[in-house]
Amino acid sequence: MAKRIEISGLNAYYGKTRAIEDISMTVEPRSVTAFIGPSGCGKSTLLRTLNRMHEVIPGARVEGKVLLDDLNLYGSEVDPVAVRRAIGMVFQRPNPFPTMSIFDNVAAGLKLNGVRGRGRLGEIVEKSLRGANLWNEVKDRLNRPGAGLSGGQQQRLCIARAIAVEPQVLLMDEPCSALDPISTLAIEDLIASLKDKYTIVIVTHNMQQAARVSDTTGFFNLAAQGQPGRLVEIDDTNKIFTNPTEKATEDYITGRFG
Amino acid sequence: MTSDTLEQGATGALGGRGRRLGTGRMGDRLFGISTRGSAIVLLLIIAAIAVFLIAKAVPALKADKANFLTSQEWNPDAAEPRFGILQLAFGTLMSSLMALIIATPVAIGIALFIAFYSPRRLASGLGYVVDLLAAVPSVVYGLWGLQFFVPKMASVANFLHDDFGWIPLFGGDSVGGQSLLTAAVVLAIMILPIISSISREVFLQVPQANVEAALALGATRWEVIRMAVLPFGRSGMVSAAMLGLGRALGETIAVAMVLSTAAGISLHILRPGGNTFAANIANTFGMAGNMGRGALIASGLVLFVITLIVNMLARAIVARRKEFV
Amino acid sequence: MSTLNHQPALSGVSAGRKVKDRVVQVLVYVAFLLALIPLISVLWTVISKGLKRFDPEFFTHSMNGIGANDAGGGAYHAIIGTVEQVLLASVIAIPIGVLTAVYLVEYGRDSRLAKVVSFFVDVMTGLPSIVAGLFVLAFWLLLLGFSFSGFAGAMALSILMMPTVVRAAEEMLKLVPNDLREASFALGVPRWRTICFVVLPTAFTGIITGIMLAIARVMGETAPLLLTVFVTSAINNSPFQGPQMALPLYIFDQAGRPNDAAINRAWAAALTLIVLIMLLNLVARLIARLRKPVSR
């Protein structure tokens, strides 16, 4: 079920401002691809174009192509709702639905897709929570509000919610930036175990994290403040962190940046 | 700042530095007392409203030869005063509840439209348009209702009566435009802007993160609203509706103008007639004698208490929600 | 095509979900259009029918000596009455309202009195207007024995204005950044001068906006005036002696007379009243807009 993503000639705008410029790259299936780069370089924007979440911001638009296998996600006949159904997303801050129980949070996407019956739902909810390494911690309180969990548990709940609908790709937008080190470790372990099944793209500020969890790393930068972000290089994570091709990449990962 | 120190220096040179500080303290005390005093005056006014309404109502209630709560009569100025509020309470609650049933779904629809469906650039302008409904004075709604709407409602009433008369609400011997239903529709129009503007506020407070979470799961716009917006805004919408109800209960002049008051309680909402607390006060005040005025004040007191309870419930719901979120 | 799976890249959104989404969208648009119907209808009828008697005579004459079925006559006495009553109500309500708000925000923070006052301001907000009228009737007219007057009406209106003024001023005072107060205290400026010369001026335009909206609201009140001002057809310039008239009362009075001349006068008065209220609203909103760049 994991799929390849091919991005070609992608530009994204907020109103008249161009946020990212002419991005082309390939994301391999069943692997973890990390986007790194300084703040404002457009890595989160790029991530949000991959499931058409970018366009929900008023005035935002996208030019170019994103192919999921052979299907252009920005094709005229494609429904963005179907795109988001197929490509799951985990956000920077854990955002479980505050009015729903743990169970209902995980089941939320399933119910949209017509899965009915407590038994059938319960099976998938358990599977997803196990997949997110959360089952043992919450199995006795599935009917308690999801907002009552700790930050790290909430984030794993959000991951469970995202994988419950069995997406083809999982996007993660700095999923650990609001978490403590222990929760971060738990999420990183989880990412490692999820890549057998999913194509994962993760945006992170933390270079060690990128080095630890990803197979491929893309480095983004902007020429100057106010300029759109560009992809500087993308390569095997090992290569990026040990022997990058570009000088800018090396400066950034060795901390000589800016 | 420099001018300030200069000024202080000047007064200091005149030997008034200590005095100056003194006047500051004096001023502080006077100003503090006057603000506190105003707050207390406001409390006294509320207390006075309760006290004087009760003081004027009690003699009338004592003279009442009928049961004030269960009688349907209204003859306070007769030699043997007989009056009760049953039909007033019935008409008030009936018309207000019907108004609420009509207005709430429409108002929430409007709030959703402005918050999620309309183009963002137009949103505040459209909100202003709906708020214009609140700027129209109730006497103008009364005039419009009487002159324009009542004749229209008469034909609606005839249609409902002829084709749906088997439904008890639409039954009865005679139907007309000046009915409880007409009053309820006019009230609904008047409370629409309150309910929709409060609901809109609540919807705008829904965390964007939750909206995005729903979108990212592949929810359609309606599913986003059902998953993230409505559950979050539920208590806000309930209290908005309650505040609207409070407004409808106390509305006077529009109802007084639209309704052709007639005695008796009837569930036939198309029947011309029915009466409300407020309309009864407005309509019979001019002819009321001393006892009549006391009786009207007593009925006003009941209205006050009912609206107070409704409003307090609404505020309590809002307050509880604040603790949760 | 990928060899990894057999399913298509995207499974479409089911027809049922799409239909539901569409239906709700249509319902929501319909709700908005439904609200426009009465608004347009009210404004249209008021303007079209009101213009028939929107003439100089209407604004310069009273109803004195106009017979039950006569045409002519005007609302001069009602306009005078409304202006005087609303001004008097403002004179009573604005100082009490603003000072109470100052107390709630600057002095009383979290004290028991402030909590009680805040609660009862909410109670007052929900007070039916006719009950305010009944109160003045019970207290001023029946108990103290004064007669109907514009002033009695102004008292009733001021009770309705106060909570709105308090809430509006309170909101605006809360928006004044605390740094400003502390900066002023740090200069050794006494508290009352800080409030009068730093805090209130900063919140000034916002408070004015709130006050104008409160005035616009009570200007259209009819029920309390009916019990306190009564009605008259003659000009009475004194709000302190004898019954007066007011525009809302005039509309109510004329609308109750079963002839076209009276109905036309009612429409013209309704148009006058709406124009006055809309002007106040407009000015309030302009002031609010002016404020925005300043407050940044």
* pLDDT band of B8, cuts 50, 70, 90: very low
With pLDDT > 90 as the criterion, what percentage of chain B qualifies?
A: 56
Q: Are residues C42 and C169 in the same domain?
A: no
Give the residue extent of every domain in chain A: 5-95+169-253
Contacts of A51 in chain B (CB under 8 A): 216
Q: Are residues C38 and C140 in the same domain?
A: no
* Confidence check: pLDDT of C2 > 50: no
* Confidence check: pLDDT of B19 > 80: no
Look-up: residue for tokens 């008097």?
C88
Residue type at position C157: L
Instruction: Report pLDDT digits (tens) over B205-244.
Output: 888 999 999 999 999 999 999 999 999 888 889 989 999 9
Q: What is the mean pLDDT of residues A131-159?
A: 91
Q: Are residues C171 and C269 in the same domain?
A: yes
> Is the Cβ–Cβ distance between A139 and A111 less than 8 Å?
no
Q: Are residues C169 and C95 in the same domain?
A: yes
A94, A132, A207, B85 from A202: Cα distances, Å: 15, 16, 12, 69
Q: Are residues C223 and C272 in the same domain?
A: yes
Q: Are residues C83 and C223 in the same domain?
A: yes
Q: What is the mean pLDDT of residues B303-324?
A: 81
Q: How far is C28 from chain A (nearest CA, A)?
A: 20
Q: Are residues C141 and C230 in the same domain?
A: yes
Quote the domain boundaries for residue C26: 16-53
Instruction: Say yes or no: C2 contacts chain A, CB-CB below 8 A.
Output: yes
> Is the Cβ–Cβ distance between B57 and B298 less than 8 Å?
yes
* pLDDT band of B128, cuts 50, 70, 90: confident
| Minimal-distance CA residue of chain C relative to A68 | C9
Q: Are residues C20 and C78 in the same domain?
A: no
| Minimal-distance CA residue of chain B relative to C127 | B304
In a domain, C8, yes or no: no
- Give me the pLDDT at residue C292, please: 56
Candidate from B106, B221, B303 with C-beta closest to C35: B106
> Is the Cβ–Cβ distance between A233 and A220 less than 8 Å?
no
* pLDDT band of B321, cuts 50, 70, 90: low
Instruction: Say yes or no: C154 contacts chain B, CB-CB below 8 A.
Output: no
Q: How many CB atoms are located within 10 Å of the residue B234 CB? A: 14
CATH number for domain A5-95+169-253, candidates 3.30.365.10, 3.40.710.10, 3.40.50.300, 3.40.50.920? 3.40.50.300
- Give me the pLDDT at residue B1, please: 38
* Confidence check: pLDDT of C132 > 50: yes
Main-chain dihedrals φ then ψ at residue B206, nearest 5 degrees: -60, 125
Candidate from A84, A93, A98 with C-beta closest to B218: A84
The string of DSSP codes covering C223-276 is HHHHHHT---SS----TTSS----HHHHHHHHHTS-SHHHHHHHHHHHHHHHHH
For chains A and C, CB pairs below 8 A equal 40
With pLDDT > 70 as the criterion, what percentage of chain A qualifies?
A: 98
Q: What is the mean pLDDT of residues B50-78?
A: 91
In a domain, C3, yes or no: no
* pLDDT band of B23, cuts 50, 70, 90: low
Axis-axis angle for helices B290-324, B230-250 (nearest 10): 170
Main-chain dihedrals φ then ψ at residue B3, nearest 5 degrees: -65, -35
In a domain, C158, yes or no: yes
Contacts of A56 in chain B (CB under 8 A): 212, 215
Q: Are residues C157 and C46 in the same domain?
A: no
Q: Which domains does chain B have, with CATH numbers?
A: 2-63 (no CATH), 74-324 (1.10.3720.10)
In a domain, C247, yes or no: yes
| Minimal-distance CA residue of chain C relative to B2 | C187
With pLDDT > 90 as the criterion, what percentage of chain A qualifies?
A: 65
| Minimal-distance CA residue of chain B relative to A83 | B218
> Strands (DSSP E) along chain B, which ranges?
74-75, 82-83
Q: Are residues C186 and C93 in the same domain?
A: yes
Axis-axis angle for helices B230-250, C129-136 (nearest 10): 40
Instruction: Say yes or no: C286 contacts chain B, CB-CB below 8 A.
Output: no
Both tokens of residue B118?
């309309």
* pLDDT band of B141, cuts 50, 70, 90: very high
Instruction: Report pLDDT digits (tens) over C214-240.
Output: 999 999 999 999 999 988 888 998 999
Interface predicted TM-score (ipTM) of this complex, two decimals: 0.90
* pLDDT band of B15, cuts 50, 70, 90: very low
* Confidence check: pLDDT of C71 > 70: yes
Q: How far is the C-alpha of B87 from the C-alpha of B71, rounded, in Å?
A: 8
- C 57-86 → B contacts, CB under 8 A: none
- Give me the pLDDT at residue B274, please: 83
The string of DSSP codes covering chain A is ----EEEEEEEEEETTEEEEEEEEEEE-TTSEEEEE-STTSSHHHHHHHHTT-GGGSTTEEEEEEEEETTEETTSTT--HHHHHHHEEEE-SS----TTSBHHHHHHHHHHHTT--SHHHHHHHHHHHHHHTT-HHHHTT-TTSBGGGS-HHHHHHHHHHHHHHT--SEEEEESTTTTS-HHHHHHHHHHHHHHTTT-EEEEE-S-HHHHHHH-SEEEEEEESSTTSPEEEEEEEEHHHHHHS-SSHHHHHHHTT---
In a domain, C11, yes or no: no
* pLDDT band of B153, cuts 50, 70, 90: very high
The total domain count for chain C is 2
Q: How many CB atoms are located within 10 Å of the residue B137 CB? A: 26
> Is the Cβ–Cβ distance between A21 and A228 less than 8 Å?
yes
Contacts of A29 in chain C (CB under 8 A): 2, 4
Instruction: Say yes or no: A165 contacts chain B, CB-CB below 8 A.
Output: yes
- Mean of all residue pLDDT scores within chain B: 86
Least confident interval from A122-126, A135-139, B20-24, B268-272: B20-24
> Is the Cβ–Cβ distance between C172 and C206 less than 8 Å?
yes
Both tokens of residue C131?
């009950």
* pLDDT band of C9, cuts 50, 70, 90: low
Interface touch B43/C116, C-beta < 8 Å: yes
Chains within contact range of chain B (3+ C-beta pairs < 8 Å): A, C
| Minimal-distance CA residue of chain A relative to B218 | A85
Q: What is the mean pLDDT of residues A77-88?
A: 91
Closest to C271 (Cα-Cα) out of C7, C14, C3, C42 = C42
Chains within contact range of chain C (3+ C-beta pairs < 8 Å): A, B
Interface touch A88/B216, C-beta < 8 Å: yes
**Residue predicted with more confidence, C144 or B20:** C144
- Give me the pLDDT at residue B324, please: 47
Q: What is the mean pLDDT of residues B167-190?
A: 89
- Give me the pLDDT at residue B16, please: 41
Contacts of B142 in chain C (CB under 8 A): 222, 251-252, 255
Instruction: Say yes or no: B225 contacts chain C, CB-CB below 8 A.
Output: yes
Q: How far is the C-alpha of C114 from the C-alpha of C94, rounded, in Å?
A: 19
Q: Are residues C132 and C254 in the same domain?
A: yes
- Give me the pLDDT at residue B10, please: 40
